[in-house]
Structure 1
Amino acid sequence: MALEEQIATKAKEIHTDGYPMSIGEVLSLYRDGDIEIHPEFQRIFRWDNEQKSGLIESILLGIPVPPIFVSQRADGVWDVIDGVQRLSTVLQFVGVYRDESGDLTEPLTLSSTEYLPDLAGHRWEVNAPGGHTFSDAMRRDFKRAKLEFRIIRKESDANAKYDMFQRLNAGTRLSEQEARNCLLVMLNREMYTETTRLSEATDFRSVCQISDQKESQAYYQELVLRFFCQADYSGGASELPREFGKYVTEWMREAAKEFGSPASKIDSSLFDRTFRLLAASLGDDTMRRWDGNRHLGPFSIACFEFVTSGLCANIDLWEQRAEAELADRVRGIWTAPQFRDTSGSGISARRRFPRLVVRARDYFGR
């Protein structure tokens, strides 16, 4: 009986509708600002021309396209939570898609596809330079083609669309931080913009040298969130109550609610001050292991957690000290029991994070 009650209760919290809509209607919604496509997602969902042409081919041939999931906001606008790349491809092909700056993007020129090899070189507009254009009849048929929409209505639980996004994209190739970035765009675009700006800061990049693969997975943005998550941590040294990735995501969701208010957890000045000191003292060696004579190996996340959380908690103190003293203190962590006993490879982030943060504040506070 308990399970039946849970199902009945939760089902009442999520209200959905579903119906097909013509591409012409979608174009009108987009032009009127009634549907939010999130152009920021284009940094994350990367379709090449072949994939885009394949979608147009499917629409032309009536091959089923997966449904578009949207969430209706309080103001009535539809927020796309799954299907951004599909919709943006259609809009780009028709020539109305706008980027993050609000500028029209270059209209899509189709490539050859499996069933329609003669699509190669075709564009939508009448005066396509050096290529072929759709006829009036083809354009009308395209605009009459329908896409299936699933709508989470505005009276649904406030967390429904974010949970839905995570579930719908669980099987994609997104890294954890790429998924967080998408969530953050929907939660608070200003916070997304600011954390992205900080992730590109010169001092931060000079201190944190990560691999190209990590960079492609939005790891710089993850480090920015980790920095503020560490600075905001108020618990003890005990193990976190949940897996570390989920802990960071939940923290981000709470931080997004307060961003821009006096209670904001994002202190850009503290971030800048911390990495300015580190860049001036050890630069690109900061997060690499010190063997007593030289720095070795790649970027160390445990070192990042310890050094940045300890330094930012005592930033006023270290701004009064010499750069060489800070360099010695950072190098000293590799033999300090506060760090060494908690940073081994066999220790999970769930256990390591709270211990390092708490101990680092004391280590750098002397």
Structure 2
Amino acid sequence: MQRTEIIENGQLLNQEPFTDFNEFEELIYVLRDNGLSPNPILNGRGGYHVVEITEKGRPIRLHLYLKKVTFGGRENRPEEKRAQFSAALDRRGYQAKDEPDNISLIIGIYKSSADIPPIICSWRIEDWGQNIGRAFNCFTDVKCIQASYAHMIAQHKTAVGQISCAFRPEFFKTYLNFRNVVHVQLVEDEDLLKSDPESMSPLDTDGLSFIPKMEDLLEPVMTVLRSHGGVSNVEHMEEEIAEMLELSQLSRGLIHNLEEGYRTELGYRLAWARFYLRMAGLVTSPKRKIWKLTQLGEQTLVIDKNHIKRLRSHQQAAQEIDQELFSDAEQQDGVEVEQGNDDLRIATPFDPNLVDIRTKSMSLDLILKRLNRQTINMFTSFQRKAGLWGLSEQSRLIESILVKIPLPVFYFDGSDDENWLVVDGLQRLSALDGFVNQESFALANLEFLDKFNGMKFSQLPPYLQRRIEEFEITAYIIAPGTPQNLKFNVFKRINTGGLTLSTQEIRNALHQGHPANFVKQLADQSTFKVATDFSISEDRMLDREFVNRFLAFYLLPIKDYQSDLEAFLNQAMEKLYDISALESSELFEAFNNGMKTATALFGIHAFRKLTGHQQGQKPINKALFEVWSVLLSKLDPRAQRQLIANKTAVLAAAEALEAEESFRKAISSSTNDKSRVKMRFDAINDLIQTYTRYDH
């Protein structure tokens, strides 16, 4: 049968596999060329070897399960390669994987002729090591080996989700340091290639030497807190420290422990650093995920690492770290729920004659080709919800098609024929794309066709492959030329499933480009986060909704507001398409200055009801945010300084205003009503003029 091999320039040829070499000798040459001074200790049975290497004077033992990489052996897979291990393997190497100064590896050596250097193939010991003691095969793909000639390293994801690697000999030392990354997540070649193995000293047997240890993260945590006025949240802290340390995307994305969730290794070590800083009295956490400097922390300029590490035993620290990292408690948004707005009708209903939604029957093959060619956009704001279905749900969808059960209709925004947006049906599309185009999963837990469990698309009989490709679906496509506001209402009415999008997520999806990017840019500003005391969640784009409200009342005349807040917010997003770079810059500066002024005036009570604030912080009030953020941002610097100089009087006047029944209603119920919007803007504007003598 046809067998595919690779020559040194990466060209694929049909020929028999080359096996006339000694894999152990080849690997010893690789170790020597990497400056690791290999010293063979043991040649065990079944391909198990122990080699001691020396890295900067430090001895490390490599426990190697080593074989040639040859033809895969399955008739229908000429491009498959494998390393074949016998049942005679010694388990000592697997048992040594967690011992200090020991590294356990499963390695395969590929050569297509005697004259060319080998390619090293590798598999994660944790994925395959449980098989040691019985015969097993480690599989890879000839195209993965081919890619390693061009890109130094390549990865191949198997049908069951395990990731194998292929790399050139000169990459071996870098592989040792990054092995716990490249076998658990797909990464960009550039991230690996810019990693200098010589800077990793000494070689880390955990494969994590490129991330600083806890004690070396103490100072970066303090630095980030100081740069944000003494307060920050854990996500932004991790992001900024990664930038400060110039960590690659590879290093930033490394998962600490997949069995415990998706906490990154950097995030895990930062949690330890924050814990010890708190024990030293330098930082405190006033609420979940928020950290701030204490008075002692503000005064401390030099960190004594050794003193801080002695403050608490490792066991005590671990218990508190686990509580922080794995608590199931949900954070409250810290935003007051608006009352009485649900009954407000659309002020200007859209013309039904403009509704142009076309019904189209098409085969799944057409949809799958669009997905493969990326003319269905799976990377809009909806993308974060793609792939939420588990393996059973995805498999049952495929089974429904195979037994000819009709699928619910799909909705697309077809305004751009080269970039359809998904309105409804994302999970189904994600599952279909994963099974047919990506072959990222095999069928499981089928109800009627259980004999096909474990099969990927290419393994199904041809008649079933055709049944999927020729399956007819119904799609409703919003035609080009449909007004944005009408489109928003269509999205909102259709979007009624279990994964309902927020109106801001819909708005963000419909205004890609500058509007969506600018709103995100403002929402990411530290001035906004500090002014709101980190109380507004980024989940469901709630933070962007607040920014959208600011932009609407800042850019559009209040007299044009007609009690239809959603339409008003949509208009603001539309207007962002038309503003110049200079106007964007001025708006950016005004927003930041307004946030700084709000913080200076009200502290942690900014944008919150002040009545009874002495008893504790109230939640953020959306109506107060709209009015104060806009009016403070429109002040010039002189007026902002005047207001801050009179902040005691301003605070008292604002609290007194809330005691008036009409104003209290304007910020508490039916807040989207036109008359109440006008009332609160007029009242706060009068208050500001009183203390600035400035006409706005």
**Counterparts of 2:442 and 2:467 in 1: how far apart (Å)?**
18
Map 1:257-268 to 2 at 5 A. 257-258=577-578, 267-268=587-588
Q: How many residues align?
A: 335
Contact 1:206 1:283 in 2 (8 A): no
Which position in structure 1 is the counterpart of 2:621?
300
What SS does the corresponding residue of 2:664 show, helix, strand or coil? coil
Query: % of aligned pairs identical?
Result: 19
Q: Distance in 2 between matches of 1:84 and 1:162?
A: 17
Q: Distance in 1 between matches of 2:395 and 2:535?
A: 32
The alpha carbon displacement at 1:325 in A equals: 4.2
Aligned mates of 2:672, 2:484 — CA distance in 1: 29
Q: Distance in 2 between matches of 1:358 and 1:163?
A: 31
From the superposition, tell whether residues 21 and 163 of structure 1 become closer, same or farther in structure 2 (CA, over 3 Å): farther
SS in 1 for 2:363: strand
Contact 1:311–1:361 (CA under 8 A) maintained in structure 2 = no
Alpha-carbon shift at residue 257 of structure 1 (Å): 4.2
SS in 2 for 1:289: coil
Counterpart residue number, 1:317:
638
1:352 aligns with 2:672: no
**1:63 is aligned to 2:405:** yes
What is the SS of the residue equivalent to 2:422? strand
The aligned counterpart of 1:164 is 490
> Is 1:148 aligned to 2:474, yes or no?
yes
Q: Point out the structure with max Rg over C-alpha.
A: 2
Say yes or no: does 1:35 pair with 2:368: no
Alignment of 1:81-100 (within 5 A): 81-94=423-436, 96=438
Q: Distance in 2 between matches of 1:196 and 1:261?
A: 16
Deviation at 1:297, TM superposition (A): 2.5
Verify the 8 A CA contact 1:21 1:149 in the aligned structure 2. no
Q: Is the 8 A contact 2:377 2:420 kept in 1?
A: yes
Name the residue aligned to 1:5: none
Q: Distance in 1 between matches of 2:505 and 2:354?
A: 29
Q: Of 78, 93, 112, which aligns to 2:445? A: 112
**CA shift for structure 1 position 341:** 3.5
Q: Look up the equivalent residue of 1:343 and give its one-letter code.
A: R
1:171-204 Cα distance to aligned partner (Å, 9 max, x none): 66636xx233223322333312331333233332
Out of 522, 535, 541, the residue aligned to residue 218 of structure 1 is 541
Q: Report the equivalent of 1:363.
A: 687
What is the DSSP-based 3-state SS (H/G/I as helix, E as strand, rest coil) of the residue aligned with 1:342?
helix
Alignment partner of 2:656 out of 318, 323, 335: 335
Distance 2:396 2:639 in 1: 57
- 1:139 shift after superposition: 4.2
In structure 2, do the counterparts of structure 1 residues 157 and 55 end up closer, same or farther at CA, with 3 Å as the change threshold? same
In the aligned structure 1, how far is the partner of 2:623 from the partner of 2:400? 48
Q: Which piece of structure 1 moves more, 224-233 or 74-83?
A: 74-83
Deviation at residue 312 of structure 1 after TM alignment = 1.2
Distance 1:302 1:157 in 2: 28
C-alpha displacement of 1:224:
0.8
Deviation of 1:262 (Å): 6.5
Residues 210 and 342 (structure 1), Cα distance of their counterparts in 2 relative to 1, 3 Å cut: farther
With a CA cutoff of 8 Å and minimum separation of 6, indicate the structure with the bigger relative contact order: 1
**Structure 2 unpaired stretches of 5+:** 1-350
Q: Aligned partner of 1:36: which letter? A: N
Q: What is aligned with 1:235? A: 558
Q: Is the 2:527–2:596 contact (alpha carbons within 8 Å) kept by the matching residues of 1? A: yes
Listed one character per residue, the Cα deviations across residues 42-85 of structure 1 (whole Å, up to 9, x for unaligned) are 33578331544443332333221112222433555434333233
Q: Structure 2 vs 1, CA of residues 154 and 316 (structure 1 numbering), >3 Å: closer, same or farther?
A: same
CA distance in 2, matches of 1:51, 1:328: 60
Deviation at 1:294, TM superposition (A): 5.3
Greater strand percent: which structure? 2
* Shift of residue 311, structure 1, vs aligned partner: 0.8
* Aligned counterparts of 1:339 and 1:231: Cα–Cα separation in 2: 26
| Distance in 1, Cα, partners of 2:498 & 2:579 | 29
Amino acid at match of 1:201: Q
Distance 1:324 1:93 in 2: 64
Does the residue aligned with 2:553 lie in a helix, a strand or coil?
A: helix
> What TM-score, normalized by structure 1, do the two folds share?
0.72
In 2 relative to 1, CA 322–15 (structure 1 residues): closer, same or farther, beyond 3 Å?
closer
| 1:129 aligned partner | none
Q: Distance in 1 between matches of 2:648 and 2:442?
A: 54
Please tell me the residue identity of whatever aligns with 2:543. Y
Q: Distance in 2 between matches of 1:123 and 1:271?
A: 55
SS of the residue corresponding to residue 48 of structure 1 reads coil
Give the aligned partner of residue 187 of structure 1. Answer: 511
Report what 1:103 is aligned to. none
Output the amino acid matched with 1:87: L
| Counterparts in 2 of 1:117 and 1:312: CA distance versus 1, 3 Å | farther
Any conservation in 2 of the 1:199–1:224 contact (CA below 8 Å)? yes
Conservation of the 8 A alpha-carbon contact between 1:286 and 1:330: no
- Matched residue type, 1:21: S
**Runs of at least 5 residues in structure 1 that lack an aligned partner in the other structure:** 1-8, 97-105, 127-132
**Structure (1/2) with the larger helix percentage:** 1
Q: For the residues of structure 2 that align with 1:224 and 1:84, how far apart are their CA atoms? A: 27
Contact 2:400 2:406 in 1 (8 A): yes
Deviation string 1:60-118 (CA, Å, 9 cap, x unpaired) is: 3322111222243355543433323322332233454xxxxxxxxx9356653555667
Residue type at the aligned position of 1:269 = E
Contact in 1 for aligned 2:457/2:465 (Cα 8 Å): no
Aligned-partner Cα distance in 1 for 2:358–2:571: 28
Residue in structure 1 matching 2:605, options 281, 285, 295: 285
Q: Secondary structure at the match of 2:663?
A: coil
Give the Å deviation of 1:41. 0.5
Deviations along 1:309-364, one digit per CA (max 9) or x if unpaired, are: 22112152355458564476346411136976323334543132222223323322
- The residue identity in structure 1 corresponding to 2:445 is S
Deviates more, 1:110-119 or 1:138-147: 110-119
Question: RMSD value over aligned CA atoms?
Answer: 4.0
Aligned AA (1:356):
R
Distance 1:266 1:53 in 2: 52
Q: Distance in 2 between matches of 1:174 and 1:247?
A: 19
